[in-house]
Amino acid sequence: MDESWKSSWQRARNHEGVTRGARAFCALAAVLAWGWWAGWQAELMPVLLGVIASALTETDDSWRGRLRAQLLALGCFGLMALAVWATVAWPWALMGVLALSALAFTVLGALGERYRAIAFGSLVLFIYAALAAHTSRAGAAQATPLMLAGAAWYGLVSVAWAGAMPRAPVRFRLARLYAVLGEYLRLKALLLEPVRDVDLERRRMALALHNGRVVDALNAAKESLMSRMGRGQPPAWLQAAMHQYLAAQDMHERVSSSHEHYDLLATAFFHSDVLYRCQRVLTLLGEQSLKLSLAIQQQSLPQHGGMTSRAIEDLQAAIAHQDGIAADLVGTQGAASMARPLRSLHALGHNLAAMAGVFAGALAGDAAAQGAADHALLDREPRSLRDAWGRVRAQLHAQSPWLRHSVRLALSLLAGFALMQATSDPHGYWILLTIVFVSQPQYAATQTRLLQRAKGTAIGLAMGWAAIQLFPGALVQAALLVFAGAVFFGARHTRYVLATAAVTTLLLLGFHQMGMAQGVILARLLDTAAGCLIAAAASWLVLPYWQSRQWPQLAAQVLQTQALYLRAILAQYYSGKRDHLDYRLARRNAHNADAALSNSYSAMLKEPRRVRGNVEVVANFLRLSHTQLNYLSALGAQRGQEGAEPVDARAQEMASELLASLQQLAGQLAHAQQQTGVRVTRAPAVAQVLQEFGVPAAPEPTHSLMAAQLALVGKVFPQLQEQARQWAEPQHRPVAPL
């Protein structure tokens, strides 16, 4: 029983939601304790609102980064409070300042996650300050210092927490990374099932969609590590975490690689168990990944029984048996037909063995095993005010999602403020808060969030009313208030309905403590409904960011980044394998573009039918582009461990033509986004080159493994061109408002 409690405590201590909730619990409990001790119950609500606004600006960061972010947030909060004080006596002036603030702060979201959080928290504090001011400068002057004090207090707690416990967020992100990587391994294993009538296209689509989650987890882990990298030698725990991150990157490249059409392998080895053995190795590696995820989270040693090494030995024995069968066929008609699948089977076996070796290093957690590996990471944060301004200025055009979102949010807030004034609603600022919380850059995300907000509000009002009736004591209600705040911050990134219910309960209990609960329940319900309706209408009518209009640009980025990835791979074949920053960046950019296209497709399915365009074309392009990336990843996985690998003339010319064709189609798609009637070339240059090399629709064995892999890419590329051509046809263009 003691071990069970200890294990549960370790899981809770290293879970990001629990630690975030515990941080909020400490800050809120201290505020309430001080207020009760000093007899300042009436002043508690502004301080609590300041704590909430400050907590909304928090992102995963080191204590130094958190301190800088907190100082910037306090500066923005002070500016917002001053704006409220100056205009609160004139409602329409206050409305104008709110709209301008929404325009300016939302565009700052293009700078990165830290700045998006600060902009969001600043808008929330603006509304909180206006709500607490009660339409008078005196009220604003009284409430503003209390809010800023609450914000500063939470900032102090957050900075101290980040300094005292820097490892937990890194562990959480690495654990999540290996968890989603384990699921990717499981999905990839399904492709190797050698049975008839398997829907490989559906399985490939599931793999492409899940790849977006893996890429998101990789990016989150990278940012968590990057924020804690100082100028000197990183501590041992951070080096070990970096080793596990780089191992996950290597694993991702290897598991996302494909060495052959799986239906061809299934046909060639239908009467053998060799593909089942490949599938077993992948499945066991997936289980190891999940065990490693749990071990990282619990700070324990992963359990490893040696089953994977035995499965690899069995696989190698099965491949050797197939070699013996092929040797017996030498000189017969069947020998030529078996050469290609057997070569691909050998490449698959080598890749699985190498993948197990990478996992063994990650399981050992020994950073020294990497030797002189390049641990450099690319910092995507703006490095100067000039750099920041350049990024903001780049968003000042009609197609920018951040500019569109800022205009949409500003107009929504104007509509909400006008409704509040027209109805003389004393709690009308909740309309504005609802708009700020549910409005998202994408239509699908806005619709999902507003439904969650409405449901959570209804649940929270019921819970708050029940708490007031069941626990009339002020001290018990204060304890429930603190608990509700902790639940809100712990769940707001993962369970938004629960988080909304918790914060609604918090506000209801807070108003009851102040003696202002009369009519709050109905007002909160109606104001939430009004805010949701305004946000829903704006997401449809005001500069909607339909995914169908962004698809050509996203598809162009996929092809362009894959071309750069192929170029980086070729350089490695000439110079020898080296996972330096430039190579890892090219690989990551290719997967980021693939994930962006995957996420866009998922969002497109949630948009109205009349604005989606030809969803089937988008789905086919996504599946084919991910397959093409798999073939390129196989080239990356085959890079030699030592020295330079020769690239024959045939492979070199094929690669050059592939690079040119990828970049040409990328340019055509990018041009198609701005102009209608653009013609996408049907006849691919690469197909002609393959035919010149004697590689027809069913390629014959090629001179090198690289040439064979490039031939596979060359067979996918014409299909991508065909999908792009179909999208460019006028009858397939979506009828969507700007």
- State pLDDT tens for residues 13-43: 667 788 888 999 999 999 888 877 777 766 7
Look at the block and give the residue holding tokens 């002189």.
Answer: 372
Look at the block and give the residue holding tokens 């007899």.
Answer: 39
Confidence check: pLDDT of 271 > 90: no
Q: What does the DSSP 8-state code read for residue 117?
A: H
pLDDT at 623: 92
- 684's tokens: 């691919």
Q: Distance between CA atoms of 724 and 620, rounded to whole angstroms?
A: 10
Confidence check: pLDDT of 158 > 90: yes
Q: Determine the distance from the C-alpha atom of residue 57 to the mean position of all C-alpha atoms in its chain, rounded to a whole number.
A: 18
Amino acid sitting at position 475: L
Question: 529 CB contacts (<8 Å, ≥6 apart)?
Answer: 454
Q: What does the DSSP 8-state code read for residue 234?
A: P
- Pick from 635, 629, 627: nearest CA to 569: 635
pLDDT at 182: 93
Report residue 118: phi and psi, to 5°.
-65, -40
pLDDT at 523: 84
What is the signed CA dihedral for 47, 50, 54, 56, rounded to 10 degrees?
120
Q: Distance between CA atoms of 576 and 571, rounded to whole angstroms?
A: 8
Query: What is the distance between the terminal CA atoms of the chain, rounded to a whole angstrom?
Result: 61
pLDDT at 516: 61
CA distance to 626, 658, 678, 682, 684, per residue, from 718 (Å)? 14, 11, 18, 8, 6
Among 33-42, 359-368, 459-468, the range scoring the smallest mean pLDDT is 359-368
677 confidence band (pLDDT: 50, 70, 90): very low
Exposure b/e, 430-451, CB count within 10 A at least 16 = b = bbbbbbbbbbbbbbbbbbbbbe
Look at the block and give the residue holding tokens 């294990």.
Answer: 7
pLDDT at 654: 86
- Pick the residue with more confidence: 420 or 8? 420
C-beta of residue 133 within 8 angstroms of C-beta of residue 88: yes
